[in-house]
Amino acid sequence: MTRSGFVALAGRPNVGKSTLVNAMVGRKVAIVSDKPQTTRRAIRGVVTSADFQLVLTDLPGVQRPRDALTARMQKRVETELSEADAALFVVNGDQGIGGAGDRFIAEALSQANLPIVIAVNKTDRMNHTKTVKALVFVTEQLGLPDAEVFPISARTGKGVPALTEYLASLLPEGPFYFPPEDHSDQPEDVMLAELVREQVLLRTRQEVPHAVEVQVEEIEERDNLTTVRAIMWVETESQKGILIGHHGKMIKSIGTAARKEIERELADHVHLDLSVRVRRSWRADDALLDRLGIT
Ligand SMILES: Nc1nc2c(ncn2[C@@H]2O[C@H](COP(=O)(O)OP(=O)(O)OP(=O)(O)O)[C@@H](O)[C@H]2O)c(=O)[nH]1
User: In angstroms, what is the span from residue 7 Cα to ligand 1's centroid?
Assistant: 19
The DSSP symbol for 26 reads T
Determine whether the shortest distance from the Cβ of 61 to ligand 1 is under 6 A: yes
- Calculate helix-pair angle for 249-266, 237-244, nearest 10 degrees: 70
Cα–Cα dist 244/252, whole Å: 8
pTM, two decimal places: 0.64
Distance from Cα 149 to the centre of ligand 1, integer Å:
19
The CB of 154 under 6 Å from ligand 1? The reply is yes
Q: What is the pLDDT of residues 166-191, one digit of tens each?
A: 999 999 998 887 777 666 666 788 88
Beta bridge partners of 121: 92
CA distance 269 to 274: 16
275 lines ligand 1 (CB under 6 A): no
**Is residue 227 part of an annotated ligand binding site?**
no
* Higher pLDDT, residue 153 or 79: 153
DSSP-based three-state secondary structure for 165: helix
Q: Is the CB of 42 under 6 A from ligand 1?
A: no
3-169 CATH, one of 3.40.50.300, 3.40.50.2020, 3.40.50.720, 3.30.750.200: 3.40.50.300
Local confidence band at 41 (pLDDT 50, 70, 90 cut-offs): very low
- CB-based burial, 199-225: b 16+ in 10 Å, e otherwise: bbbbbbeeebbbbbbbbbeebeeeeee
pLDDT of amino acid 40: 44
Tally of CB atoms within 10 A around 189 = 18
Tell me the pairing of strands 269-278 and 225-234.
Answer: parallel
Angle subtended at Cα 293 by Cα 204 and Cα 11, rounded to the nearest 5 degrees: 60
**Which of 15, 22, 62 gets mutated to test ligand 1 (max ligand atoms within 8 A of its CB)?**
15
Q: What is the ipTM of this complex?
A: 0.96
Has 15 been labeled as part of a binding site?
Answer: yes
pLDDT digits (tens, 9 = 90+) for 197-247: 999 999 998 878 888 999 999 899 888 899 999 999 998 999 999 999 999
Q: Whose CA is nearest to atom 1 of ligand 1?
A: 122
The answer to whether 24 and 158 have CB atoms below 8 angstroms apart is no
* Residue spans per domain, the chain: 3-169, 188-291
14 is annotated as contributing to ligand binding: yes
Q: How far apart are CA 87 and CA 147, in angstroms?
A: 10
CATH class entry, domain 188-291: alpha beta
For the chain, give percent helix, strand, coil, nearest 5: 40, 25, 35
Q: Is 102 labeled as ligand-binding?
A: no
Mutate to test the pocket of ligand 1, among 19, 33, 127 (most ligand atoms within 8 A of CB): 19
Whether the predicted pLDDT of 118 surpasses 60: yes
Q: What percent of the chain has pLDDT over 70?
A: 80
Would you say the CB of residue 36 lies under 6 angstroms from ligand 1? yes
Count of CB atoms situated within 10 Å of the CB of 238: 12
Q: Ligand 1, residues 12, 14, 24, 28: which to mutate, most atoms within 8 A of Cβ? A: 14
Main-chain phi, psi angles of 118, to 5 degrees? -110, 125
State yes or no: 175 annotated in a binding site: no
Cβ burial of 100 (10 Å; 0-12, 13-18, 19+) is exposed
CA gap 268, 228 in Å, rounded: 12
